[in-house]
Structure 1
Amino acid sequence: MDTTELIRAYQTMRTIRLFEETVVTLVNANEIPGVTHEYIGQEAVATGMCAALGPDDVLTSTHRGHGHIIGRGADPGRMFAELMARVDGLNHGRGGSMHAADVSLGIYGANGIVGAGAPFAAGAAWASGAPGAAGEPTTDRRVRRVSVAFFGDGAINQGVLLETFNLAAAWELPMVFCCENNGYAVTTPAAASAKVTPSERATGFGLAVREVDGMDVEAVYEAAQWAVDHARSGRGPVFLDCRCYRFVGHNTGEHMLGLQYRTHDEIELWRGRDPITAVADRLRGHGLADADLARLDDEVQQHIDAAVTFARASASPEPATAMDYMYATPTLTTATRWGHR
């Protein structure tokens, strides 16, 4: 990355980090209902992957999806409003934390079901005109749109994901499977749930595989550029195994359970590799002073503060709109209950 790209990456990562820290504050203040799954520590993966995408490319996300959505360029104000269940949210408050989407940006949705975003990404890849999908030879194998499926290592044993691996390889779909390998499926260490690594599993399906330092945004960006070009050129799907770590619990409610599945030393070891600190150090090497970084931080803080103000000012949906965007014919019971005629 050149200096301009590195500054942009720093801004994106700082925005994701501050967004997530603010989400925790808002959840604890009961301004956001339920629990949320923070992306703190994994910012380099979303930032590097999304930076390599073109404007027509699409992605599917996970229950831990705020970083992907912001990394792709969604408005933090509308994202906060979505988490608060307000009408100005990305999905008018109906998607919430785990099902937010912005089709205008190619964000085909977060997904609360582990691994379930992958087949949606495969469908988008199929629709883009994958060279192997039609079963006919072609001289021009490049496609306009690449699909990215984000998921964690905890999804690697989900049947729907493995089936998507198989079809994507067989049909040479223009896909990138981006595995955010943070070592844990909720509280279960990866080694306790599988004999082989995610990379070894993907290799067995015939995917092109690359292992990446997911705490290094430049390493992720370089690997993502290669993966997107590989997929776009008609050479088939790619599996990126991004080794990363979440600095926080599985979700905002974990602390109430008193779970101790990670040691203090392990967490501090990974915190010593904070991806944002690493980018700041590199920017200093590019000639930026601490005052320059402080100015960038202030700009991000102002952006997030304005986003929260916007979300708080947004109205809650009217009860009479509860059945809006429901496409099945209402039953007599539901029609009566919600005032439909």
Structure 2
Amino acid sequence: MSETVYQQHAYRSNQVPPQKPRPEKTLAQRLLSAGQRMLPWSRPTQTVSTRTAQVSPSQWQKMKTIAPNQECFWNEQTLEGLTGNIWVRVYLVFSGLAKVTILYLTPIAIFSVFLTSFIAGGIDGMIRFITGYFLYVIIPCSIIWGQFELYNRGYWKPKLLSKLLDARKLFELNRRTGMVTLYKRGGKVRYSYPFVEFDCILATTPSQQGLVNYSLLLAHRYSGSMHGVPLGVLVTPHETVAEYYRLWNMIQCYMDVTQPLPDILLLEEARPKDPTTAAYDQQTGRNPRYWRDMSDDAYAEAITQIEAKQSKMSETGPEIDIFTKAS
């Protein structure tokens, strides 16, 4: 089954096609690459970055309850790097105001009108106010809030609204095809190349406060493109160098179809759908709901134990030379 799922160009760390030597850098490229380090290719281990998309079991269950049809950005086939846009913030503000108006302001307004009418003894003004309030406040707010709830739960997504509000895709790593794709604005493909043709770069830039900021990216080795794949969006900002090494190891593990998927909460639901991982879990007897059935406290303790264990281990596996045939 795995042979039909994983395509010919899927990445296999034990069968790396020998790569052409890196081309010589121009003077401009050497100047621009100052302060950068190239992370090594290696046979990946099950070391993970615990800073990747930190979600607790209760948050995961809540997301699945609210939006059962919503696909995770990371699954058995693809890892998508996403970014939001300003229209999402505007949409959230308006839907939030509509919700507050319906749930809190409306009862106060109606109670005040009833109290005023009772004291003043006039009912005509109360009827006019309630009619106008219903037509011009309750109905519009109900439409805005109701549409938001339906959209958020994945039940109603008009194409125009989805195009406006859906997170913009920055890049895609495809485990089954072994391809890495970078997107332009508007969803157009900037380029798409095999995973093994990329170098992983850890770049450093000084902040305004004099601190060092790190960014992790994949740079295509042969095209000369100045646009990299921003892997750093997958972790919380201002991480240690070791955490970026762990992230690179986890990415290599994810793309390597000879290895099971990284054992993290985000990918637990996808594990039975990946042939290599399903076979590994069956062999090891892994609890298929190990992470999802944990309490938040138990999950936090498990993450702490992983971090303590990994602090005494190498962040990556044994290095491999991708420019010669793997042994």
Structure 2 length normalisation: TM-score?
0.26
Higher strand share: 2
Structure number with bigger Rg? 2
Structure 1 length normalisation: TM-score?
0.25
Q: Which has the higher contact order (CA 8 A, sep 6+)?
A: 2
